[in-house]
């Protein structure tokens, strides 16, 4: 009877891992997480060497590995508790089943938030124009993420307008212009040192006049003074609302996944300075710290919407937690 129950349980769990992404998207994700996965499994293989079943020592080692993979302490403890419960209900869990259990329990944990189920780039609300304000410190790949988002939305048939409101750095304005040209979308910009709120205002007016579907606003990536940042972003929002009453519809915080725990810290600081409604985690392909996505997705009650898993224009993907866990624990 018990074995029937456990078979049934595993069938329910496996339905998580239906093929969702197309094969080329899946291949990009697999490749992007290769480093994280390889590092994780080489540690896991050492930890279970000579063991035949999952015991306390294995769980202690697993806890250490998850923390060192930047999953984060709180999330790791949740995962370990879930696995302990599985072990308690099935005394004969073999080491060879540990990988599958990890996948199932992490997918289960991430399923407690009803986000991370997207498969395509879509505008989340039926508003025109949908206004997305993008925040993040310099160097995390903010402007590149905006360029790749513009590419994906443009490809999906939406009319996109970019706003270069990071007027603090000339390079940011130039870089956004290069992306606009490359993707073939409109851009509104002023000179370096202009008032960011004025750029945002112009961008929205232009977008409304053009009947655009989506506006993406780049903002200055300064964190050294939280009060200034807060005031600047609040002003940008207030001025945008003169044109589109409920703008911005989303505030996307871009985090560099390769910084591991630093990404957690940045998320904490930005969420204290402004209301953040979505996260993008970039640069996962060059790092072994991919576990940070699991921790961030669990710890912040803010959905991870996009992940960067390569340098190519197609390598920004919508975050799908099932596909992510499947690629990580293959």
pLDDT higher at 187 or 287 = 187
Contact 315, 32 (CB under 8 A): yes
Please, which residues have CB within 8 angstroms of residue 94's CB and are 6 or more apart in sequence? 52, 53, 54
pLDDT for 5 beyond 70: no
pLDDT value for 247: 93
| Average pLDDT estimate for 41-69 | 88
pLDDT higher at 183 or 10 = 183
pLDDT band at 19 (very low <50, low <70, confident <90, very high): low
Contact 308, 2 (CB under 8 A): no
> Could you tell me the domains of the chain?
1-330 (3.40.50.300)
Tens digits of per-residue pLDDT, 237-287? 999 999 999 999 999 999 999 988 888 888 888 888 788 999 999 999 988
What is the residue-averaged pLDDT of the chain?
Answer: 86
| Average pLDDT estimate for 182-199 | 95
pLDDT for 44 beyond 60: yes
pLDDT value for 139: 85
pLDDT for 167 beyond 60: yes
| Average pLDDT estimate for 216-223 | 84
Query: pLDDT > 70: what percent of the chain?
Result: 92
* Alpha-helix runs per DSSP H in the chain: 2-14, 23-32, 34-47, 56-68, 73-89, 98-110, 142-155, 170-183, 196-210, 226-240, 261-273, 292-299, 321-328
The sign of the CA dihedral 40, 45, 48, 53 is positive
pLDDT value for 97: 85
∠ Cα 55 53 68 (to 5°): 60
pTM: 0.85
β-sheet bridge partners, residue 131: 215
Of 144, 180, 158, give the one whose Cα is nearest residue 316: 144
């Amino acid at each position: 009877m018990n074995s029937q129950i456990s078979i049934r349980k595993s069938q329910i769990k496996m339905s998580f891992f239906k093929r969702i992404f197309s094969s080329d998207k899946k291949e990009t994700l697999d490749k992007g997480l290769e480093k994280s996965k390889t590092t994780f499994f080489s540690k896991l293989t050492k930890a279970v060497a000579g063991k035949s079943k999952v015991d306390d020592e294995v769980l202690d080692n697993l806890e250490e590995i998850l923390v060192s993979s930047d999953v984060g302490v709180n999330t790791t403890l949740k995962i370990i508790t879930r696995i302990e419960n599985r072990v308690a209900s099935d005394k004969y869990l073999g080491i060879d089943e540990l990988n599958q259990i990890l996948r199932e329990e992490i997918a289960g944990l991430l399923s407690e938030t009803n986000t991370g189920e997207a498969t395509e780039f879509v505008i989340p609300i039926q508003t025109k124009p949908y206004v997305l304000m993008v925040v993040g410190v310099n160097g995390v790949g903010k402007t590149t993420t905006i360029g790749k988002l513009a590419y994906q939305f443009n490809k999906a048939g939406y009319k996109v307008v970019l706003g270069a409101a990071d007027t603090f750095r000339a390079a940011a304005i130039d870089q956004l212009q290069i992306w606009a040209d490359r993707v073939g979308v409109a851009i509104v910009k002023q000179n370096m040192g202009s008032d960011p709120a004025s750029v945002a205002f112009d961008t929205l007016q232009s977008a409304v006049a053009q009947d655009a579907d989506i506006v993406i606003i780049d903002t200055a990536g300064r964190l050294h003074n939280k009060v200034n940042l807060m005031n600047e972003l609040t002003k940008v929002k207030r001025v945008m609302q003169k044109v589109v009453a409920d703008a911005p519809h989303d505030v996307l915080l871009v985090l560099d996944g390769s910084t591991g725990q630093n990404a957690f810290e940045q998320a904490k600081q930005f969420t204290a300075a402004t209301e953040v409604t979505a996260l993008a985690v970039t640069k996962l392909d060059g790092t072994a710290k991919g576990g940070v996505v699991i921790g961030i997705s669990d710890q912040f009650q803010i959905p991870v919407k996009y992940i960067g898993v390569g340098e190519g224009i197609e390598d920004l993907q919508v975050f799908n937690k099932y596909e992510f866990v499947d690629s990580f624990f293959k």
